[in-house]
Chains A and B, each alone.
Chain A
C-alpha cells in the first residue's frame, strides 16, 4: 500500500445526507400523481353517465320494462336515477353525495340482482381476479424478463433467432382467442382441465386441501393463457434492452475485470436492462388486466371480468362502473408498487412524469 498523496477532494454533488430524501421525494411525487389519477377515474365515473346524449335513464327503464314485460319497481327506478343523477338536483350536491357514498364503499345497487348491493357482488369476484391477475402478472413478468435476458445475452444465437420471432407472433394473438384455443385443445380435446369455472362446485368452499387443489386445477388454464399472452411483451423489451446494455462500457469493464459470465450478466447487464421494463409496467399492466377480464369470460371464471360481462349484457351500469373503479384502483396500486421497486433498484431516480 502506498502513501496517499493529498489531492484535495473536489466537491461532489449529493452527499450521504441528500441520498435518502431524494428517493422518498420521488415516491412522494408518484404517490401524489396516483392520487390525482384515482380522483380523475372517480370523477370520470361520475361524469360519464351524465354526459351521455339523450335520456339514458329513461332508455334503460324502457328497456327493462320491455324485457321484463312489467312495470319497473320503485327501488330499481331509484337505483337508475342515482346513477344518472336526479335532473332536479344540483350537480355539486350530487357530486359530494357520490364521493360520500364511495368513501363508505357504497357502490350502489345492482339493477339485475336487485336489491343486492354492487359492493357484495364485486367482493365475491374480486379475490378471484386478484389471484388470477396477480399471479399471472408476476409470473409473466419474471418469465418474459428472464427469457428476454437470455435471448439478448446470446443475441444471434439459435435460441434467440427462434424464440424472438415466435414471440412477436405470440404477443400479437388476442387473449381471448388464445383462451379459446387453450380451452379447445387442453380441455375439450385432451380433457386435462375443466371447461369452465374457478373451482369444483361439488366441494365445500373453504381453506381445505381438496378445495384449494381444485382451485389450482381450474385456474391452471386461464392462468396459462394469460401468462402465455402477456410474457411476449416483456421478453421482446428485455431482449432489445439487454442487447443494447451488453454493449455498454460498464458491462465491458465488468468482463475485463474477469468476473464470471453469470455475474456480468446478472449484476451488470440484466439489472440495468430491466429498469425500462419496470417503468413500462404501467402501460403493460392496463393491457394485461383488460386481457385477463376477457380470459375470465372464456373460462367462465368467477372473477370480476365475468361479472362485468354479465353486467354488460344486462346493462347493469352500477356494476360496470364499480368494476371500472376497482380495476383502476388496483392498477394504480400495482403501479405504485412497481415504482417503489424501481426506486429501490435505481439510485439515480430520474423523474420523468
Chain B
C-alpha cells in the first residue's frame, strides 16, 4: 500500500466528545488519501465535524475530544514505512510536528502569541527541530520566510498587533512553512481578511505549493472557494464524508443532494447564472443523530429506506465517491 505519491492516508477515523451523558461522535469513519502536493478541500457547515477533523489530524485535540478509532498514516519523503500519527506518544509525536504536518489557523491574531516578537515565534519553531541552529541564524531565516510571503524582513522585530490583518495571516502561513512540512492543514485561513486580501493569500498559497511542493488540507464552509483552489474536495455532513471527488467533477455533477444544495446556494463566478436555492432545515444535533442517513430530514430527494439504512461511501465515477442511497438505487436500476 505504501506509495511514494501518497503523503497521508486516513482510515476509519472516529472522534468522540466525552460528555456527561451520551458521547458525541463528531467524526465517524472518515477515510481519505492525500497525494503529494495535492490540495484537498474539506467543506461543510459548522458542526459538520470539519474542525474536529483538523484537531484530530494534527493531534491537537483537548479533552473531552478523543480519537477512538482509526489510523492517520503519514508517508515520509524517504520512502520509509508510514507512521501512524494517531498512535504516537507525545514525545515521538513532537519530532513529526511542524516538520511533517503544520497548521494555519483561522485567525492569525489569535494564533500568534501577542507578547512575543514575530521573529521569536519563528525562531523557537526552527530551533525546536534543528538543534544546531543558533539564535541569530534562526532570526535571519525568519526574515527570509517573511520575505517569501511579501512581508519586509525587518518586521521580525514587530509584535503581532503591529501588523495589519492581512500581514498577520501571511506571516502565519510563512510560519507554517518554516520547517518545510509535507502537509499543511489550513483552517479557514481567509475568513478574517477582506475579499481582496483573500484572493492574494490564496494565490500565494498556490504559488508556494508549486515552489515547495507541500500538500494541503484546506477546510472551509465556503464551497465556492474550494472549487477554485482545491484539486479534490471532500464534503462533510454530521461527522461523515458524504461526497469526495475532483473539484471539477463535484461542481459539474454533484452526486449527493447535500453537495448539490451547497453548490446551488451561491452564484457561480465563471459560469452562466442559474436559480439559487438554499438547504432547508438546520444541521442535526450530534448527540441525537437522525437514524439512517443523517441528511434525510432535510433531503429533497429522500426515498424509502433513507431513514433506516446508513449509506456508505461508494464509487460513483472515476475517483468520485458519494454516500447516498439514491445513487445506489439508480446504479442498481441501470
Contacts and interface: CB of A to CB of B under 8 A. Distances in A.
B95 A14 contact: no
Given A11-B164, A259-B125, A260-B94, A250 B112 contact: yes
Interface stretch (A87-95, A165-173, A190-198, A341-349): A341-349
B148 A10 contact: no
B278 interface: no
A292 to B, nearest CB: 32
B195 interface: no
Interface in A258-286: 258-261, 263, 267-268, 271-272, 275
A156 B147 CA distance: 43
Contacts of B229: none
A309 B98 CA distance: 62
Interface in A297-353: 345-348
Interface string A1-13: 1101111111111
A233 to B, nearest CB: 23
B152 A9 contact: yes
* Range of interface residues on B (Cβ < 8 Å): 35 or more
A1 B144 contact: yes
For the side of the interface on A, what is the size category?
35 or more
Contacts of A6: 150
Contact of A249 (B58, B96, B105): B105
Contacts of B149: 7
A16 interface: yes
Interface stretch (B39-47, B69-77, B113-121): B113-121
A258 B113 contact: no
A6 B62 CA distance: 39
B287 interface: no
Interface in B232-269: none
Interface stretch (B9-17, B204-212, B322-330): B204-212
A15 B167 CA distance: 14
Interface in B199-229: 200, 204, 207-208, 211-212
Given A5-B204, A347-B159, A258 B94 contact: yes
Given A258-B125, A347-B159, A253 B200 contact: no
Nearest to A264: B124
Which of B93, B103, B114, B148 counts the most chain A CB atoms within 10 A? B114
A275 B113 CA distance: 13
8 smallest beta-carbon distances between A and B, as pairs:
A258-B97, A7-B150, A249-B110, A257-B125, A249-B111, A14-B162, A250-B113, A258-B94
Interface of A: 1-2, 4-16, 19, 156, 247-250, 252-261, 263, 267-268, 271-272, 275, 345-348
14 contacts: A2-B208, A2-B211, A9-B150, A10-B167, A11-B164, A12-B167, A14-B158, A249-B105, A252-B111, A256-B58, A256-B60, A258-B129, A268-B113, A348-B161
